[in-house]
Structure 1
Amino acid sequence: MSQSSRRKPRVAVVFGGRSSEHAISCITAGSVMDAIDRDTYDVVPVGIAADGRWVLESSDTSRLRLTTPGALPEVDGDGDSIALLREEGRTDIVVSAPSATPRTLGEVDVVFPVLHGPWGEDGTIQGMFEMAGVRYVGAGVLASAVSMDKAYLKIVLQAAGLPVMPGVTVTEREWRADATGCRERIAALGFPAFAKPARGGSSIGISKVHDASEVDAALVEAFRHDPKVLVEVAAVGAREVECGVLGTLDGGVETTRPAEIRIGGDHEFYDFAAKYLPEEHTELDVPADLPAEVEAEMRELAVRCFEAVSGEGLARVDFFVMPDHSLVVNELNTMPGFTQTSMFPRMWAESGLDYPALVDRLLQLALRRGTGLR
């Protein structure tokens, strides 16, 4: 490692971004920054505004908390500009302000990108970090890109022999050119179904389609967020259960005990409000009440999913437990919800790794990992 032994490793926590999950990323960043041990690490908060501008953000994490849907936190794009400068075998953080000489904050040793959605969780920023020669937390370019695109993830998991729900992909171009044909392909799947942005997250843009009359509206809503939409058969009667995967410092992989989401109120599925607003009465059973053999199979499948996409660092694998106890993989998230109350940290806490220790594990994994091909 290039940093001097006389100083603490410098962590750039990068958050915000250009995707529809900008606010969720801000919330996650606040939790992560609060958890990082300042006696061990120096922390630099780096925000990416909705227009893509990189800025030096405030260290005040109180403003990054979620209160109501109408008061979502966001990056203040008026701050001083930030850039990563690679030269002489090191990568520095450089700050630029109007009418001022650029100044360096020093070498960055590791980036913790708490970005969700496109341009952050999809391999784009991971590629930039690779080009800049800086270590970073989480999955690499390939795993990030494949896992972000639910349509391609389905192809990869199927090729690896893993169980997935039947589905079809519809692009906005196909919809404009042949709406009738698209409707016929979706109808052939059967109803109910779910239409979701192929590269979205946090349940933004997802609709449950009960019958053919709801197809058009569901696609239009999903196209607002992504020109590619995945329509999948609904897992009727299934339980939604998740399993966490985490790298170990000796190069191995371990999993959590699974946890179950039980949706309260009037929600038909685990939508944005059910995920993030406490008054929505969603119940999280940590651990899930599963037969021992089903839990063991789920944990094995979670590792197989992680390996199928060449995962690194962490992932949350989401399953449907069907009424006959068979398992179907729903999604794999390379940067899952990461607030202290999110499912991934809660599963690890139940498994004996509390939130600060989890954050430290991820930083240590990243610091030990090189950049480039591996």
Structure 2
Amino acid sequence: MMPGVGIFGTGKVIYALVPMLRKQGFEVKAIWGRTAEESQSASKALGIPFWTAKMDEIVLHKEVNVIFVVCPPQYQSQILIKALGIGKHVVCNPPGGLVQADVVKTVQASQYYPTLITVMSYGLRLLPVFGVTKQLIQGGFCGQVQLCDVRVDTGPVHADTYDWTCDGAMGGGVLSCIGAHVVDAVLFLTGQEPHLVNGLLKYLDNAVMNGFRRVNSDTFCSFQMELTGNVSVNATLGVRSTRKTDFNLELFVSGTRGALKIRDSELYGKKWDSDEEELLFSDDGSVPANVDEPWPILRGLLKLVESLRAAFVGAEEGNIKWNKDAIAGAASFEDGQHVVAVMEAIKRSSMNKQWTPVYFLKEPDEPELSKADGHPAPFYVSL
């Protein structure tokens, strides 16, 4: 029997998540929203028996064993720490906290409770095409990796009505909502650590919502990143459509022996001693059609839910709490901290107009110093 699930958040993604969970045998027992109205409405629409606007009531719910955190970033860290302290398994939507100091607290909590599931729902790394690409890179198809070039064209990443997704300081914008998945995917494929970035963020929309509130979350992001092992990364992310489901991805990995190119869900390869590009893999998996979210993120979320089911099914068969191998490919909280550190460095670089070190906090109260200028650097800048 699958464990009961509690959900924090009432955004559009839950209308895809809840059916996914039920299809895999999970029972969704409770849901939390920022207001009683939000949580009650989502509960009624999805047939969830218990709703509340109080965090502790979900965390302490006796029938809830797994918690999905898909709420705004400002609430994520405190929910994760509470849930782990009570002994609940947790799955968190990126980024895991509003700033890196918050994320470090969740990393420490996950290390303190190693018997609990603690994963980030970074979707791209879980797609079959990325798994095959990583295997080929590790198998030497590209030789020594030298360059990774990424381009993403997407639809609007902010909500139709004003909320946190419209504000870059609250975790909105194409960098936070889409770029985080791209950064994680690049680090996953290359297996390298980031140490320098040069970034540019632009706010090109400037739409006004609710009569007076202006959208100031970035709609264009370009960054270069230097990884250990002398790997260079170039990425361009932009909102180029009015439909939220639109998403086009191209990722190119080049090395000393050949190159691999991901185009959406297809993988092409070319050896430098050959003139022809070959189709190596194609994935035609489906996703819910009634949810306004980019298809790769939804498909990755589905893969994560399937992995969770395998983890608990394996546990039943082996008489253990859960099978770690089933979710070994999912992003850890440490992986999440790496992504947040990169995003913060990109924002500082965009403000300072220069290459900026990626700084990893070891303690939540550790002051983050920009090695470029020697004084504490702000985390978020709204232009």
Is the structural similarity TM-score above 0.5? no
- Higher relative contact order by CA 8 Å / sep ≥ 6: 1 or 2? 2
TM-score by length of structure 2 reads: 0.34
